[in-house]
Amino acid sequence: MKTSKKQPSTTSKSLWEILVPKYSNEGVEFPLTHHQEWDKKVRKLTGGLTILKKAKGQWVNLEGKLFSEDMIPVRIHCSEPIISEIIDLTLGHYHQEAVLAYEISERVILRYRKQ
């Protein structure tokens, strides 16, 4: 009897985007290896990620200080508890005051080629 490999469930997963900083709070660019460490941790949690071209962002912290910075948008297909874990990971890995993530769509089609 031939057994088929069960496909991962996509129920309760959404497509999320998280903004990853390109520079530290001191204005020093994070080295590529630092980003690659984060990528590896996220891949371990989710199985994959899509890194987009940089974007410029501005935000005001709780003390009223304006931050203007280059951000790297990263798209991830995962559940809300996993994106929450990734937000915490990102706060620590990049030593950030705040990290923004938002749901792009809960209607995601992930189809595997039949073998």
Position 11 pLDDT exceeds 60: no
pLDDT at 3: 41
Considering only CA atoms, which of 23, 75, 20, 85 is closest in space to residue 49? 75
The pLDDT-based confidence of 35 (bands split at 50, 70, 90) is very high
Q: What is the rounded end-to-end Cα distance, in angstroms, of the chain?
A: 16
Q: What are 40's two structure tokens?
A: 């590896």
Position 18 pLDDT exceeds 70: yes
As a whole number of angstroms, the distance between CA 71 and CA 88 comes to 17
User: Is the distance from CB of 67 to CB of 61 less than 8 angstroms?
Assistant: yes
Give domain limits for the chain: 14-105
**Residue 100 neighbours by CB distance under 10 Å:** 14
Position 69 pLDDT exceeds 50: yes
Tokens 């080629």 label which residue? 113
pLDDT at 2: 44
Which CATH number, 3.40.50.1000, 3.50.30.30, 3.30.70.120, 3.30.420.40, labels domain 14-105?
3.30.70.120
- Interval 83-105: pLDDT, tens: 999 999 999 999 998 999 999 99
As a whole number of angstroms, the distance between CA 53 and CA 77 comes to 18
As a whole number of angstroms, the distance between CA 47 and CA 41 comes to 10
pTM (2 decimals)? Answer: 0.84
- With 0-12 / 13-18 / 19 or more C-beta atoms within 10 angstroms meaning exposed / middle / buried, residue 95 is exposed
